[in-house]
Every structure is written in structure tokens, then in C-alpha cells.
Amino acid sequence: MDGSNPDVDVLDGINGLAKDAPEWLNRATKFVGEYGLVAALAVLCLIAWWGARRRPDAPGAVAGLVWAPLAAGVALLANIPIRAVVERPRPFRVHAGLEVLIPGKTDFSFVSDHATLTMAVGVGLFIAHRVYGLIGIGLALLEGFCRVYMGVHYPTDVIGGFALGTAVALLLAPVAQAMLIPVATAVGRSPAWWLVRAGGPAPRAVAEPVTAVPPVAREERDEDLAA
């Protein structure tokens, strides 16, 4: 009612920390928020995959982990029409006085691609492995803070990204698992078995040989049936 905007107020409060921070901290935050946390999530997925290969239910476990980066890709694709419809400009193009650590961005602000990607991976990991998932979600939350700290997103851009990434990872997980588990099982029996299993390829199902009935036994069987 008094004309204040909570979204801008929170942006000013978090981004204001960058104005008083030392230059080395802003440089580190710029790298971490733009590349570092995404790379950390990639490493986390690789660590989770390496351990999943040793589980008794390796194909299902690996399929669940594969869904995490795939969910991020689907969520980013879903964000393309959202950005085109909302067309929200970056905050530094509307509000003067922000400490912008990454100037020159010309695309729209809502929703944040980085927040969408990292949360989709984090929730996807959580579906497959609780511990790794919690670490991933924590990294996603840190990513969202960094985007606001750097002055390139509003807080609601980040919250929208979190919501989009979570929705895609959760709602499409059953369909994705139904398609990925058979693929992982087939790969586990192929020359690329090491992608799914750590102890060797899964044994193939061997059909039992059909035993021919000797002629004498066949005649005795026919006589018994006639009797």
C-alpha cells in the first residue's frame, strides 16, 4: 500500500552486501555463481553414479541418477517460453545503484536458468539418493543466493526457477524412470556394461534346451493317452 516492493527490497539488501565486500570475495562469488556451483553439481552426479554402479539394483539406481541432469535439460527447455511470455528485464536495467558483478547480460530475467538447472539436478539426485540430493539442494540454494548477490536476478526469479526445476524433476520422474530403467538394464548386458555395473555385465537369460521325445517313449505316451 505504501508503494514498497518486497522483491526489490530483498534484492537491495542482498546485493548491498557486494558493495561492502572486498574485491576478492566478489570475484570468487562471480566465479562460483556463474560456473563453480554448476561444476560442483556435475562432480556430485559423477560421484553418485560411481557408487550406484556397485549397488545390487544398479540399473535402477543409475537410471534414477541419469534423470537428474535430464530433468535439468527439460526444465531449461520449459523456461524458454516462460521467459518469452513474461519478458522481465534484468534488475540492473530497471533499478539504478546495483552492484552488478556480471554486466552485459541482455536476456530476460524471469525465471533464472541457473536456479532452474541447479534445483532440478538437486531434486533429481534426492529422488535417487537422499544424502547426495540434500547436498545438491543445498548447492542450488547457494546458487540462488549468488544470483541475487551478483545483481543479475530478482529473488522471485530465483524462487520461480526453484519451483520450475522441482516441478519438472518430481512430476516427470515416474515417466522418466519407466523409460530409463529398461535402457539401463540393456546397457548393463552390453559391451558398455561398465556404465551401469561395477562387477561385470549382467548374465543374459538363457533359454532351456528343448529335449526331443524318443520315438519309443512317444509311442508309450500315445498308448497311455488312448487307454
Q: Quick one: pLDDT at residue 217? A: 52
Rounded CA separation 170/189 (Å): 29
Average pLDDT over residues 50-56: 89
Length, in residues, of the chain: 227
Burial class (CB within 10 angstroms; exposed 0-12, middle 13-18, buried 19+) of 205: exposed
User: What share of the chain in percent tops pLDDT 70?
Assistant: 86
| Helix (H) or strand (E) run with residue 10 in it | helix 6-20
pLDDT, tens digit, 9 for 90 and up, residues 97-126? 888 888 878 889 999 999 999 999 999 999
Question: What's the mean per-residue pLDDT of the chain?
Answer: 87
User: What share of the chain in percent tops pLDDT 90?
Assistant: 63
Q: Quick one: pLDDT at residue 95? A: 84
Q: Is the dihedral of CA 93, 97, 98, 102 positive or negative?
A: positive
Per-residue pLDDT at 226 exceeds 80:
no
Rounded CA separation 112/155 (Å): 9
Rounded CA separation 5/1 (Å): 10
Higher model confidence: residue 218 or residue 157? 157
Residue ranges covered by each domain of the chain: 6-195
pTM summary value: 0.84
Q: Quick one: pLDDT at residue 58? A: 86
Q: Quick one: pLDDT at residue 223? A: 59
Per-residue pLDDT at 44 exceeds 90:
yes
Which of 209, 191, 212, 210 lies closest to 201, judged by CA? 191
Average pLDDT over residues 189-215: 67
Average pLDDT over residues 54-58: 87
Residue 146's pLDDT band (cuts 50, 70, 90): very high
Q: Which CATH architecture best describes the domain 6-195?
A: Up-down Bundle (1.20)
Higher model confidence: residue 40 or residue 192? 40
Rounded CA separation 92/95 (Å): 5
Rounded CA separation 166/124 (Å): 8
Per-residue pLDDT at 206 exceeds 50:
no
